[in-house]
Amino acid sequence: MIGQRALIVLALAAGALAGTLYYVGAQRSSVVIAARDIDGTHPLTADDLGIVSVPADAVPPGALADESAALGKLPRAPLWRGQVVLQPALSMDAASFHTGLALPTGMRAVALPVSSAAQAVGGAIVPGARVDVIAVPVAGRAPGGRTAELLLQGAMVLDVRSETGSPYGAAVTKTPVSSVGERIGSVVVAIDSLDEVRFADRIVTSTFILALAGSH
């Protein structure tokens, strides 16, 4: 009789343990994910985000549970569809680019139009590089008598964009290979705030040649 009671108690304990384990495993949490591939160049909107339910023990540190916590923020790097959105990977700084580079305090970002790779060291310029910016006046646009001028030395390259405005050589795909026929369209550099007006004038009256500057 004692043996039967022990077996019953053991069976009940095993059942309770199994039930507890099932309950714990069944607990799920909501996390915010990217609803589509995002290149990280614009503030997140409701259309960029989605909610999925995952096991509680599978939620990564920093995961968001509410879409509102991500709205209006910029990813520090591209997000793929279905990727969990993490709080540390978002920024309120509108000058943060998909490269992770940020505009230095007090500086301004300006996109210099570049119609061919030959104007940008054969397309070899990458974010993080330092370049000298040379403006070459366009006949009929620039004032008569203006000659080529060195506008800036050692400017920081924040981003390189294609003709469509997407990151050049890093379109939002799961491969680093550039899109077929992709052409460079502009190079985003950091300039002093006092140079804004001068650069605005040169952008509409000049073409640009970028020279790669060596490190000091």
- Is residue 60 over pLDDT 80? yes
Domain encompassing residue 47: 25-91
pLDDT-derived band at 20 (thresholds 50, 70, 90) equals low
Instruction: Kindly state whether residues 81 and 135 are assigned to the same domain.
Output: no
- Cβ of 130: how many Cβ atoms within 10 Å? 17
Instruction: Kindly state whether residues 115 and 53 are assigned to the same domain.
Output: no
Instruction: Kindly state whether residues 58 and 123 are assigned to the same domain.
Output: no
pLDDT, one tens digit per residue, over 90-112 is 877 554 566 777 777 788 888 89
pLDDT-derived band at 144 (thresholds 50, 70, 90) equals confident
In which element (H, E) is residue 160 found? strand 149-162
Residue 16 lies in a domain: no
- Cβ of 190: how many Cβ atoms within 10 Å? 19
CATH of the domain at 60: 3.90.1210.10
Instruction: Kindly state whether residues 78 and 137 are assigned to the same domain.
Output: no
Residue 129 lies in a domain: yes
Residue 63 lies in a domain: yes
Instruction: Kindly state whether residues 61 and 116 are assigned to the same domain.
Output: no
Average pLDDT over residues 115-125: 82
pLDDT at 161: 84
Mean pLDDT across the chain, nearest whole number? 79
Residue 8 lies in a domain: no
Sheet containing strand 149-162, edge to edge, reads 107-113, 184-192, 149-162, 130-137, 206-212
Q: Kindly state the percentage of the chain with pLDDT values over 70.
A: 75
Give the phi and the psi of residue 16 in degrees, each rounded to 5: -65, -40
Instruction: Kindly state whether residues 191 and 161 are assigned to the same domain.
Output: yes
Average pLDDT over residues 204-212: 92
Instruction: Kindly state whether residues 135 and 179 are assigned to the same domain.
Output: yes
Q: Kindly state the percentage of the chain with pLDDT values over 90.
A: 23
Residue 61 lies in a domain: yes
